Amino acid sequence: MRIKLSLLTSIIFLSSCSYINGPEGLFPPTQYDFLSETVEKDITLPENLDLITDENHYPVLEIKEIINDQNVPKPRQIFASSGNSSVQLRRLGELMWIYIETLPSTSWPISKNYWDTSSYEVLSTNPNTGEIVINFDENSILNMKIEHGIKEASTEIFLNQIDKDSKEIQSNIPLIQSELENIVNYFADSVESFTGTSLAAQNLNEMKKAKIFAENGQTVIELNLNFDRAWSSVSKAMTASNIVSNDLDRSKGIFYVSYQNEEEGGMFSFLGFGNSRNKENRNTFNEDSQFIVTIIEENNKTYVRAVSKNGKIEDAEELLSKINESLS
């Protein structure tokens, strides 16, 4: 009985499809109708009909002179910070600054808004140089400087108190620290929710303090820092990169270090086999893992170079790349 019912249902379904889409159905197929069309005669115009002449409604002006301007700026990509942004107050000796993990073009409007909503008078702002000048009191002004940090897509903010008459920087560490702490708190509350960026401050994104390049076949890191801060930053970067400092001579700007990448260590190096370098002790490095890193200050910039004890340039390049990645 079920088989007969299924057969009857199928017949009814197929019949209904034919009734709807078949040649005699409600919606017959039309894709081949053109095959049965007849060709009509060509249209002929009466002889007494005036022809419409062409008329150019959009004439092209004659260009008498072509200006070749090679200084037209190219469009710049607009960046926006994403993820969690870190805001820290850092200090090296008497030097203090704010470190922020976001681009300067994003830090600029937040910094400007901080002073605009404060009780101080803003004397001038310059997004191209990242400077904001504040009328602090009768005798001094505050100069805020927003710069690109050492790390990619980071910001560093400096603050100085300057005497109005002598134009000299005043050494008032408690005041500067207090103001910077207030700015840190303001950024911590603002930077996570702020998604804008300043087109006027895009130039600050290009003024990076660290760049790596090749010089006479040797990789070099150029830091737009003085020696003291460059030494501290490189030392911190090597620690973060698991580069072991065996000895150093700060007066000559030299680190004697050992570094072994994960591939050289082997998957089972912690068991003491799989690589000859780790058979006796996983913290023992042979000649292939030893380097000399030099830090030299020249013309207000500091240059970091490395030489492998085995003489392989590619090993020194890998070491400098690791240091460069960890700079902050």
Spatial separation of the C-alpha atoms in residues 219 and 237, rounded to whole Å: 17
**133 shares a domain with 199:** yes
**176 shares a domain with 94:** yes
- 152 is written with which tokens? 């990619």
Q: Which helix (H) or strand (E) holds 183?
A: helix 173-190
The rounded mean pLDDT for the chain is: 79
- 105 is written with which tokens? 């073009």
**189 shares a domain with 226:** no
Strand partners, 143: 133, 160
Report the SS3 class of residue 9.
helix
Give the burial class of 198: count Cβ atoms within 10 A of its Cβ; 0-12 exposed, 13-18 middle, 19 or more buried.
Answer: buried
Domain that holds residue 139: 87-204
- The CA R_g of the chain, rounded to the nearest whole Å, is 36
Backbone CA torsion sign across 257, 261, 267, 273? negative
Spatial separation of the C-alpha atoms in residues 266 and 306, rounded to whole Å: 24
* CATH number of the domain where residue 109 is located: 3.30.310.50
The residue from 189, 204, 219 where one domain ends is 204
* CATH number of the domain where residue 216 is located: 3.30.310.170
pLDDT of residue 189: 83
The pLDDT of residue 295 is above 60: yes
- 138 is written with which tokens? 């009768």
The residue from 180, 204, 228 where one domain ends is 204
Q: What is the mean pLDDT of residues 29-43?
A: 69
Phi, psi (deg, nearest 5) at residue 132: -130, 125
Q: How many domains does the chain have?
A: 2
Spatial separation of the C-alpha atoms in residues 149 and 101, rounded to whole Å: 9
The pLDDT of residue 74 is above 50: no
The pLDDT of residue 283 is above 80: no
**187 shares a domain with 92:** yes
Cα dist from 36 to 21, 30, 39, 140, whole Å:
19, 11, 10, 95
Yes or no: say if 144 and 132 are a contact pair by the CB < 8 Å rule.
yes
| pLDDT tens sequence across 84-137 | 347 889 999 889 999 999 999 999 999 999 999 999 999 999 999 999 999 999
pLDDT of residue 50: 61
**175 shares a domain with 131:** yes
The pLDDT of residue 77 is above 50: no
Spatial separation of the C-alpha atoms in residues 123 and 212, rounded to whole Å: 38
**216 shares a domain with 197:** no
Yes or no: say if 314 and 321 are a contact pair by the CB < 8 Å rule.
no
Residue 105 domain-assigned (yes or no): yes
**263 shares a domain with 177:** no
The pLDDT of residue 248 is above 80: yes
The pLDDT of residue 71 is above 60: no
Phi, psi (deg, nearest 5) at residue 299: 50, 50
List, as one string, the DSSP characters of 194-227: -----STTGGGGG--SEEEEEETTEEEEEESS-H
**233 shares a domain with 134:** no
pLDDT of residue 128: 94
Residue 57 domain-assigned (yes or no): no
Residue 10 domain-assigned (yes or no): no
**299 shares a domain with 271:** yes
Spatial separation of the C-alpha atoms in residues 155 and 109, rounded to whole Å: 13
**198 shares a domain with 104:** yes
Residue 137 domain-assigned (yes or no): yes
What dihedral do alpha carbons 124, 127, 128, 132 form, nearest 10°? Answer: 40
The pLDDT of residue 162 is above 90: yes
Q: What is the mean pLDDT of residues 191-219?
A: 88
The residue from 152, 179, 204 where one domain ends is 204
Residue 185 domain-assigned (yes or no): yes
pLDDT of residue 285: 52
**221 shares a domain with 167:** no
Q: What is the mean pLDDT of residues 41-60?
A: 60
Give the burial class of 177: count Cβ atoms within 10 A of its Cβ; 0-12 exposed, 13-18 middle, 19 or more buried.
Answer: middle
Query: What percentage of the chain has pLDDT greater than the value 70?
Result: 68
**161 shares a domain with 129:** yes
Q: When comparing pLDDT for 146 and 54, which is higher?
A: 146
The pLDDT of residue 180 is above 70: yes
pLDDT of residue 193: 74
The pLDDT of residue 270 is above 70: no
- Under 8 Å CB-to-CB from 150, ≥6 apart: which residues? 156, 209, 210, 223, 225, 233, 327, 328
Spatial separation of the C-alpha atoms in residues 76 and 317, rounded to whole Å: 31
